[in-house]
């Protein structure tokens, strides 16, 4: 309906509502129309004025307070990151038990870092798992916000030090609440943190069935010698199947070939911490 018609119909409705006589009604309708047109013009003028005022306002500039907050968050992220890389998993567990809110700060910083990468290793792992059967059960060790569980149709057990959402089971992944040989796939995507990564690999061997898949994605610069590191992982009962080097990270895929006894003497693996620069 155009403006004129809308006005006329409004006038008629108002006139009817007033229950005026036919003769008086037309005069009343005229006055009403004039008043409404004036009101409309006035309101258009106000709207235009408001619009002009709004468009004069410059986009909000980043203030000193925002800048200071970002610096603080970034410093806190770097502190937490270093802590996770340099302490044992039980210390990291105790730390987040006392201060679970830090987890959000850590993950905000982590996401900012990975967003700068051309490819996220988790996306590659997800697309590879999607090629396998849907009935395969997956254990996502150090799942963060459980993106894997939110993305794939498979049953996924998502473990992390803090449960960021209801898909996540909070635990130290050196000991996860799963039976032996309970899963077909185990994933460590950028999560081999802490000074006891050998405990995590032992745990992956325990929960994987023979023939099951193990994915390990890690920051390339953490490793002195990637081939040697992958050879050492094989000593935990795995056989290397595929290995690729991408910008910033390597991604390896293994098959579990052997059950390891809990008493087996296995090498203590070492990866350098991945320390991010100050912004
Ligand atoms: N895999 C996710 C998150 C990687 S960030 C992704 O690729 O997006 C690394 C995660 O490992 C963090 O959430 C950290 O809390 C978790 N992590 C490190 N040590 C852990 C441990 N001992 N037990 C459980 N989670 C651990």
Look at the block and give the residue holding tokens 């405990």. Answer: 199
Q: Cα dist. 247→17, 78, 119, 217 in Å?
A: 74, 22, 8, 12
pLDDT per position as a tens digit, 198-209: 999 999 999 999
pLDDT confidence of 33, banded at 50, 70, 90? Answer: very low
- Of 55-69, 77-91, 122-136, 227-241, the one with minimum mean pLDDT is 55-69
The CATH H-level superfamily of 89-256 is Vaccinia Virus protein VP39 (3.40.50.150)
Please tell me if the CB atom of residue 142 comes closer than 6 angstroms to any atom of ligand 1.
yes
Please tell me if the CB atom of residue 176 comes closer than 6 angstroms to any atom of ligand 1.
no
Asked if pLDDT for residue 41 goes beyond 80, the answer is no
Which residue puts its alpha carbon closest to atom 20 of ligand 1?
142
Beta strands, E only, the chain: 138-141, 156-160, 168-170, 183-189, 208-219, 238-245, 249-256
Gap from CA of 82 to ligand 1 centroid (Å):
13
Which residues have CB under 8 Å from 5's CB, separation 6+?
none
pLDDT per position as a tens digit, 59-100: 556 788 888 888 888 899 999 999 999 999 999 999 999 999
- What pTM did the predictor assign? 0.79
Gap from CA of 18 to ligand 1 centroid (Å):
72
Domain boundaries, the chain: 1-62, 89-256
The mean pLDDT value of the chain amounts to 84
Choose the residue to mutate in 161, 176, 207 for probing ligand 1, maximizing ligand atoms within 8 Å of C-beta.
161
Choose the residue to mutate in 80, 163, 191 for probing ligand 1, maximizing ligand atoms within 8 Å of C-beta.
191
Please tell me if the CB atom of residue 110 comes closer than 6 angstroms to any atom of ligand 1.
yes
Which residue puts its alpha carbon closest to atom 13 of ligand 1?
144
Determine what percent of the chain falls in helix, strand and coil, rounding each to the nearest 5. Answer: 50, 15, 35
Which residue puts its alpha carbon closest to atom 16 of ligand 1?
142
Please tell me if the CB atom of residue 173 comes closer than 6 angstroms to any atom of ligand 1.
yes
Q: What is the pLDDT of residue 60?
A: 59
Gap from CA of 256 to ligand 1 centroid (Å):
22
């Amino acid at each position: 309906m155009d403006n004129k018609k809308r006005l006329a119909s409004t006038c008629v409705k108002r006139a009817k509502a007033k229950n005026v006589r036919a003769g008086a009604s037309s005069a009343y309708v005229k006055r009403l129309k004039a008043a409404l047109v004036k009101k409309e013009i006035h309101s258009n003028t106000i709207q235009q004025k408001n619009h002009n005022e709004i468009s004069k306002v410059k986009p909000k500039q980043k203030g000193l307070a925002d800048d200071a907050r970002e610096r603080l968050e970034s410093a806190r992220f770097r502190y937490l990151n270093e802590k996770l890389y340099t302490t044992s998993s039980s210390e990291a567990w105790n730390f987040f038990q006392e201060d679970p809110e830090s987890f959000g700060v850590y993950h905000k910083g982590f996401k900012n870092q990975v967003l700068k990468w051309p490819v996220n290793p988790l996306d590659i792992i997800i697309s590879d798992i999607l090629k396998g059967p849907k009935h395969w059960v997956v254990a996502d060790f150090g799942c963060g916000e459980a993106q894997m569980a939110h993305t794939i149709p498979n049953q996924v057990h998502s473990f992390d030090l803090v449960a960021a959402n209801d898909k996540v089971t909070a635990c130290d992944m050196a000991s996860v609440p799963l039976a032996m040989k309970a899963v077909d796939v185990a994933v460590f995507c950028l999560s081999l943190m802490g000074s006891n990564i050998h405990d995590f690999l032992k745990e992956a061997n325990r929960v994987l069935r023979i023939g099951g898949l193990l994915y390990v994605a890690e920051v390339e610069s953490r490793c002195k010698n990637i081939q040697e590191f992958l050879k050492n992982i094989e000593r935990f009962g795995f056989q290397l199947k595929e290995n690729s080097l991408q910008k910033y990270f390597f991604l390896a895929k293994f098959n579990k070939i052997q059950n390891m006894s809990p008493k087996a003497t296995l090498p203590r693996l070492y990866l350098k911490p991945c320390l991010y620069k100050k912004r």
